[in-house]
Amino acid sequence: MFVSHRDEIEKKRISSPGSNEVLKQVLVGPEQGWKDHVMRMFTLGKEGCAPRHAHPWQHIIYVVEGKGNLFMDGKDYPLTPGSVCYVPSDILHQVSNAGEDAFVFICIVPEFGDK
């Protein structure tokens, strides 16, 4: 059993090529008892983005706050609080902040996809 609050969970800055202003929190995963998947929360600062990339696992995105954009398979999709996305495996994609304030979203991946 695990109970916490997002404000109590460590934020780690992601510094990979092509990323900008990205903070990651692991909300629930193997350390909390969920052996198959990992629920992460990402905060993208102003002009923040993840790199364009593809990988062999699917994931689910749920937008918590702010305005963002999902580039997926050659198209742009605007994101606002409450937006839900399914990104299939091996699809080129990128999430970016499209607003002035922080863009916060939850991303759920299989355990082997949490890198």
Q: Domain locations in the chain? A: 7-113
**What is 7-113's CATH number, 3.10.290.10, 3.90.420.10, 1.10.3720.10, 2.60.120.10?**
2.60.120.10
More confident site: 1 or 108: 108
For residues 109 and 59, give the distance between their C-alpha atoms in angstroms, rounded to a whole number: 5
Mean pLDDT of 18-22: 89
User: pLDDT (tens digit, 9 = 90+) per residue, 29-43?
Assistant: 999 999 999 999 999
Q: What is the CA radius of gyration of the chain?
A: 13
DSSP-derived secondary structure for 29-96 = SGGGT--SEEEEEEEEEEEEEPPPB--SS-EEEEEEES-EEEEETTEEEEE-TT-EEEE-TT--EEEE
Q: What is the pLDDT of residues 46-89, one digit of tens each?
A: 999 999 999 999 999 999 999 999 999 999 999 999 999 999 99
Q: Give CA 16 to chain center in angstroms.
A: 14
